Structure 1
Amino acid sequence: MDTTPATGPGALDDVPAEAWSGVHRGPLRAGEWVRLVDAKGRKHNFELVAGKRFFSNRGHLEHDDLIGREEGFTIASSMGGEYLVFRPLLSEFVVSMPRGAAVVYPKDSAQIVALADIFPGARVVEAGVGSGALTCSLLRAVGPYGHVLSYERREEFADVARRNVHQFFGAPEGASHPNWTLTLGDLAEALPASGERCDRIILDMLAPWECLEAAADALVPGGIVCAYVATTTQLSRFVETVRVHGGFTEPHAWESLVRDWHVEGLAVRPGHKMIGHTAFLVTARRLAPGAKPPRRTRRPAPGAYGVDYTGPRPADVAHEAGNGAETGAGFGAEDAGNAVSGLD
């Protein structure tokens, strides 16, 4: 078996430390984390320490037998168990790292980074920090010229997130990621007091609508607010609060589902398991000061804001009449007639 590290003209140097990517190239070294996967797909993550042993139900491995080798090899334990050895990807790290609060899963982190348009050099505000999973993706996306400001109400969650972020990015002992500021406090109070302005705000919390006014004041025109909520009641409350505020574009809400496929020759079928609902995402863009969004021409569905609805109510939507049909307030006469008749 060839264990010689890749060298020569075709070899790539390690990723520069100042990039703060959380990624290394070249031979495995002490202090790095590795991910072992056995024949049954069971995964083990641990830090490489010179002179230490890894134990499993298939015997043990010497850390020294891993250090100095290029990742992507197979190694046998003392009892013949075989393991694939790689550095963990960010998506693998966040689902196996220690947790204080529930993590934002990779499928949602990817949606947030792409559809909230997190760009290199962006100034991003995040609340709350949870266990640090989304924070890692945000720091990776903003790059060395951006900044992530995280707000967390609970100190125990902040401590877990701090350890996880430092572990992934390999922050030296006593140091922190230079592009990350973690503040213990409530964003609704702390952000206005700080006077910070930002390009993007991500709200991962129980009642994100309580932070909307602070978010609106901090966002630059054209900036994006993105909420990550678990339930339909949270989704409805946040969307309607954004509409009532009047300083944002029409909010866009969605969720993503991920399904694996089983592929073996002619046996090609959907997997028996899938990552279904984890959370809803909502985005809206900040308008310029004093600007108002265009008047909505599509009327709400009959009953949408009926007598049982108790949430925020857009200014162009009146309370429904006693017969349960929309009064048509804020819409044209033809729309109002159609609302009563039930026509589209």
Structure 2
Amino acid sequence: MTLPADDLTDPATPPTGADLRRGPFRAGDRVQLTDPKGRLHTITLEPGKTFHTHRGHVRHDDLIGAPDGTVVQHSSGADYLALRPLLSDYVLSMPRGAQVVYPKDAGQIVTYADIFPGATVVEAGVGSGALSMSLLRAVGDQGRLYSFERRADFAEIAQANGRAFFGTDHPAWTVTLGDLVEMLPVTCAPGSVDRVVLDMLAPWECLDVVGEALAPGGVLICYVATTTQLSRVAETARRAGGWTEPVAWESLVRGWHLEGLSVRPEHRMHGHTGFLVTLRRLAPGVDAPLRKKRPAPGAYGEDYTPVVEEEWSPEDLGERPVSDKRLRRTARDARATADARGSDGIPDEAPEEGEQP
């Protein structure tokens, strides 16, 4: 079958950021170095610069022009493996203001929210941009990602991180400062949104405006930290109507030690980071069929409190407050990393180099 000319992809215009994921290392690239003990260090390549450890250094010029997956010699004689960071590596080493959505949860969100190429997706809030980059990869250049963030400093850090990873401002990404409830109706027409991802303190407060924006059959997925938030989202959606029955879960990731016959679980694991709950929007005027399965005994007993109207803060959920000084430094580092993707590959201000957290 021969495709029409309009359907053929022009190889001269690869998807945004694809050309930065292959080929030899260039000035401005972020490179992940692995030392003989398996420790990771992420650096940004600059001509004439060196990466220092307590035992010596690695010259950036030895890496610029070398193929991805090369081995470079440290001045101490040790061999360091050099690879481009994967997206999952990048989000854990990039400058961050707000806590990031970890790769194990971002993968679940992209899959279970069914984020597809060309989709129109709404995200709130943007944080440091970790989830935004996964969503942009999924929707592609022909899709749309509308990200809403209340804090200008978080939005600036997220956009700089996105520029550093994709090499430019992604054409599908629009970041809007302001509250989702106020800004979504003036940004997206009713029924024009395919998917909504909410990573915020009180997602249940946005159900009405999100339901108006979502197309019938559209997916809403909420990322919350506590069981209290999880229950509140589910019960508010049930009372509001117009949604399918909520489905909730969490994911736990445990690595394995592989060495000869010593094959066993790692002592550490990526445990609880957050809960995910999904709902689908029903057609106008349609309510979900009544459940035939009776609720668990005691689910709505005398101890059950339907709704408690109260203001929550990130500190109430155990998040550590971020100082203004740290945010300014993070924004400066994020801008410097993004500038390193410029035409000459040399940033105006060199980002800090060090061990990956």
Compute the TM-score of the two structures, normalised by the length of structure 1.
0.83
Asked if 1:283 is matched to 2:287, the reply is: no
Instruction: Give the Cα–Cα distance (whole angstroms) in 2 for the partners of residues 248 and 312 of structure 1.
Output: 18
Instruction: Give the Cα–Cα distance (whole angstroms) in 2 for the partners of residues 237 and 96 of structure 1.
Output: 33
**Deviation for aligned residue 1:147:** 1.0
Q: Name 1:198's counterpart in structure 2.
A: 193
Instruction: Give the Cα–Cα distance (whole angstroms) in 2 for the partners of residues 234 and 245 of structure 1.
Output: 16
Equivalent AA in structure 1 for residue 301 of structure 2: G
Q: Deviations over 1:47-76 (max 9, x none)?
A: 111122211223112211101110111111
Given candidates 238, 260, 264, the residue that maps to 2:259 is 264
Instruction: Give the Cα–Cα distance (whole angstroms) in 1 for the partners of residues 119 and 165 of structure 2.
Output: 21
Asked if 1:90 is matched to 2:87, the reply is: yes
Alignment of structure 1 residues 28-47 onto 2, 5 Å: 28-47=25-44
The structure number with the bigger radius of gyration is: 1
Q: Name 1:294's counterpart in structure 2.
A: 289
Instruction: Give the Cα–Cα distance (whole angstroms) in 2 for the partners of residues 124 and 195 of structure 1.
Output: 10
Q: Name 1:8's counterpart in structure 2.
A: none
Instruction: Give the Cα–Cα distance (whole angstroms) in 2 for the partners of residues 241 and 59 of structure 1.
Output: 58
Equivalent AA in structure 2 for residue 57 of structure 1: H
Equivalent AA in structure 2 for residue 70 of structure 1: P
Q: Name 2:302's counterpart in structure 1.
A: 307
Partner of 2:138, secondary structure, is: helix
Partner of 1:213, secondary structure, is: helix
Partner of 2:108, secondary structure, is: helix
**Deviation for aligned residue 1:23:** 4.1
Partner of 1:183, secondary structure, is: strand
Instruction: Give the Cα–Cα distance (whole angstroms) in 2 for the partners of residues 110 and 21 of structure 1.
Output: 19
Instruction: Give the Cα–Cα distance (whole angstroms) in 2 for the partners of residues 257 and 142 of structure 1.
Output: 26
Go from structure 1 to structure 2 and tell me whether the alpha carbon gap of 1:216 and 1:184 turns closer, same or farther (over 3 Å shift).
Answer: same
Instruction: Give the Cα–Cα distance (whole angstroms) in 2 for the partners of residues 307 and 191 of structure 1.
Output: 38
- Contact 2:98–2:128, Cα closer than 8 Å, also in 1: yes
Go from structure 1 to structure 2 and tell me whether the alpha carbon gap of 1:255 and 1:77 turns closer, same or farther (over 3 Å shift).
Answer: same
Go from structure 1 to structure 2 and tell me whether the alpha carbon gap of 1:242 and 1:21 turns closer, same or farther (over 3 Å shift).
Answer: farther
Q: Name 1:26's counterpart in structure 2.
A: 23
- Contact 1:26–1:70, Cα closer than 8 Å, also in 2: yes
Asked if 1:241 is matched to 2:236, the reply is: yes
Instruction: Give the Cα–Cα distance (whole angstroms) in 2 for the partners of residues 30 and 23 of structure 1.
Output: 11
Q: 5+ residue gaps in structure 2?
A: 1-10, 309-357
The range that moved more, 107-116 or 28-37, is 28-37
Q: Name 1:217's counterpart in structure 2.
A: 212
**Deviation for aligned residue 1:44:** 1.3
Give % identity. Answer: 60
Instruction: Give the Cα–Cα distance (whole angstroms) in 2 for the partners of residues 146 and 254 of structure 1.
Output: 28
- Contact 2:15–2:140, Cα closer than 8 Å, also in 1: no
Go from structure 1 to structure 2 and tell me whether the alpha carbon gap of 1:200 and 1:21 turns closer, same or farther (over 3 Å shift).
Answer: farther
**Deviation for aligned residue 1:88:** 0.5
Structure 1 stretches of at least 4 aligned residues deviating more than 4 Å after TM superposition:
14-17
Equivalent AA in structure 2 for residue 286 of structure 1: R
**Deviation for aligned residue 1:91:** 0.3
Partner of 1:209, secondary structure, is: helix
The range that moved more, 231-240 or 304-313, is 304-313
Instruction: Give the Cα–Cα distance (whole angstroms) in 2 for the partners of residues 182 and 21 of structure 1.
Output: 22
Aligned length in residues? 296
**Deviation for aligned residue 1:195:** 3.6
Asked if 1:132 is matched to 2:129, the reply is: yes
Go from structure 1 to structure 2 and tell me whether the alpha carbon gap of 1:134 and 1:68 turns closer, same or farther (over 3 Å shift).
Answer: same
**Deviation for aligned residue 1:293:** 0.6
**Deviation for aligned residue 1:265:** 2.2
**Deviation for aligned residue 1:16:** 4.7
Instruction: Give the Cα–Cα distance (whole angstroms) in 1 for the partners of residues 258 and 60 of structure 2.
Output: 35
Q: Name 1:321's counterpart in structure 2.
A: none
Equivalent AA in structure 2 for residue 25 of structure 1: R
Partner of 1:188, secondary structure, is: helix
The structure showing larger relative contact order (alpha-carbon pairs under 8 Å, at least 6 residues apart) is: 2
Go from structure 1 to structure 2 and tell me whether the alpha carbon gap of 1:134 and 1:21 turns closer, same or farther (over 3 Å shift).
Answer: farther
Equivalent AA in structure 2 for residue 45 of structure 1: T
Instruction: Give the Cα–Cα distance (whole angstroms) in 2 for the partners of residues 285 and 86 of structure 1.
Output: 40
**Deviation for aligned residue 1:263:** 2.0
Partner of 2:41, secondary structure, is: strand
Q: RMSD over aligned Cα, in angstroms?
A: 1.6
Q: Deviations over 1:207-244 (max 9, x none)?
A: 01111111100000110000000100000001111111
Instruction: Give the Cα–Cα distance (whole angstroms) in 2 for the partners of residues 312 and 286 of structure 1.
Output: 22
Q: Name 1:322's counterpart in structure 2.
A: none
**Deviation for aligned residue 1:125:** 0.3
Instruction: Give the Cα–Cα distance (whole angstroms) in 2 for the partners of residues 15 and 162 of structure 1.
Output: 26
Q: 5+ residue gaps in structure 1?
A: 1-13, 314-344
